[in-house]
């Protein structure tokens, strides 16, 4: 009797093992379906390896989705208004030549598998290699499905690839780059995140309320502020630059005569603008000197020769990233 029970248990175990193995091959336990999609965030690569038999209810959304195996991913747009679509990228495709069919749709949260309620927001893409395409303009704060199908035939073949969605509808925006003087403040704010979940500003010691969408920043020096916002399970970041302007004081004369007094054109504050471009012209408009960042004060030389005494015209473009600063223009007299 005991032997019969043992054999029976072994048979059941064997049968269950085979069932599990078959289910694994067909993605029965781990496959993502329309009612159980893979949640993905913008600018995050997600590897997909599991498919399940297509199980749509209603009329098919597009004849392109004719494969017998399906995997489904879901993304949620941020609160940032945008006229752009989302970029969908398929990379590192290894499906042994199988053709993938890809479509992005809006769907009903109450009936996510009813394909007759789907609205296509992208073209239907068929590919056997890496591809990227862009959807139509999307609504804010809305769920969308990425449907990916392929035909397996009699013998299912392994299929793996990476999926990434990105673009303005999956981002937040910090505003606005500004230029202030030392001990002054700048008002900054961010759009696109869920205000109910709050924000994180960094470096927090220079802002008055680091969890608010709008902050007052008082940095002691030029600082790039990073703000992180949250939308459902995803977090998004952006940055905004506040330039603390060191006063640029440009002398209107100097005397490069090697007497040790005022021999160089010392421009106070300009070396702090490391991307600045200074260009100096003579009275005929010919360039006689150019410097990026002004690491060394000009000594009145041009290609190894002394420039003549006289008045020269200069243009200084500060070129601070993200901030529009007017060029500094004026005249300098070279006295010999």
Category of 6 on φ-ψ map: left (φ > 0), alpha (ψ -120 to 50) or beta: alpha
Name the residue with higher pLDDT: 307 or 30: 307
Render pLDDT for 91-140 as a digit per residue (tens, 0 to 9): 999 988 888 999 999 999 999 888 888 999 999 999 999 999 999 999 99
For 171-209, letters b (16+ CB in 10 Å) and e give bbbbeebbbbeeeebbebebbbbbeeeebebbeeebbee
Residue 90 is predicted with a pLDDT of 96
Work out the pLDDT band at 59, boundaries 50, 70, 90. Answer: low
- What are the residues facing 328 on neighbouring strands? 316
25-169 and 253-334: same fold?
Answer: no
- DSSP state at residue 207: B
Superfamily in which the 173-245 domain is placed by CATH: Immunoglobulins (2.60.40.10)
- What are the residues facing 38 on neighbouring strands? 73
pTM of the entire predicted model: 0.69
Work out the pLDDT band at 193, boundaries 50, 70, 90. Answer: very high
Query: 271 near 295, Cβ under 8 Å?
Result: yes
Category of 244 on φ-ψ map: left (φ > 0), alpha (ψ -120 to 50) or beta: beta
Q: Residue 49, Cα to own-chain centre: how many angstroms?
A: 25
**pLDDT > 90 in the chain, percent:** 65
What's the rounded mean pLDDT across residues 222-239?
95
Structural domain boundaries in the chain: 25-169, 173-245, 253-334
The CATH fold assigned to 253-334 is Immunoglobulin-like (2.60.40)
What's the rounded mean pLDDT across residues 193-197?
94
- DSSP state at residue 246: P
With respect to CATH, is domain 25-169 assigned 2.60.120.380? yes
d(CA 291, CA 249): 16
């Amino acid at each position: 009797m005991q032997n019969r029970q043992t054999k029976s248990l072994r048979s059941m175990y064997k049968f269950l093992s085979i069932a599990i193995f078959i289910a694994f091959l067909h993605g029965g336990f781990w496959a993502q379906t329309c009612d159980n999609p893979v949640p993905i965030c913008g600018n995050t690569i997600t590897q997909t390896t599991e498919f399940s038999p297509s199980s749509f209810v209603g009329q098919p959304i597009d004849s392109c989705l004719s494969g017998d195996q399906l995997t489904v991913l879901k993304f949620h747009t941020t609160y940032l208004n945008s006229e752009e679509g989302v970029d969908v990228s398929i990379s590192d495709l290894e499906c042994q030549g199988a053709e993938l069919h890809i479509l992005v749709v809006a769907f009903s949260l109450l009936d996510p598998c009813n394909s007759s309620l789907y609205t296509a927001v992208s073209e239907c893409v068929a590919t056997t290699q890496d591809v990227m395409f862009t959807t139509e303009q999307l609504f804010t704060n809305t769920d969308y499905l990425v449907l990916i199908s392929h035909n397996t035939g009699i013998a299912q073949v392994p299929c793996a690839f990476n999926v990434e969605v990105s673009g303005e509808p999956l981002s937040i925006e910090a505003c606005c780059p500004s230029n202030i003087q030392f001990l002054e403040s700048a008002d900054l704010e961010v759009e696109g995140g869920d205000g109910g979940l709050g924000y994180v500003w960094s470096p927090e010691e220079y802002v008055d309320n680091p969890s608010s969408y709008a902050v007052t920043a008082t940095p002691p020096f030029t600082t790039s502020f990073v703000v992180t916002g949250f939308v459902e399970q995803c977090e998004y970041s952006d940055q905004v630059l506040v330039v603390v302007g060191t006063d640029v004081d440009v002398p209107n004369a100097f005397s490069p005569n090697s007497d040790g007094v005022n021999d160089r054109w010392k421009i106070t504050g300009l070396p702090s603008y490391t991307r600045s471009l200074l260009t100096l012209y003579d009275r005929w408009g010919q360039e006689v000197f150019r410097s990026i960042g002004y690491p060394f004060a000009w000594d009145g030389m041009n290609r190894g020769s002394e420039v003549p005494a006289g008045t020269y015209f200069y243009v200084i473009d500060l070129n601070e990233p993200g901030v529009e600063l007017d060029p500094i223009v004026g005249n300098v007299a070279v006295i010999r």
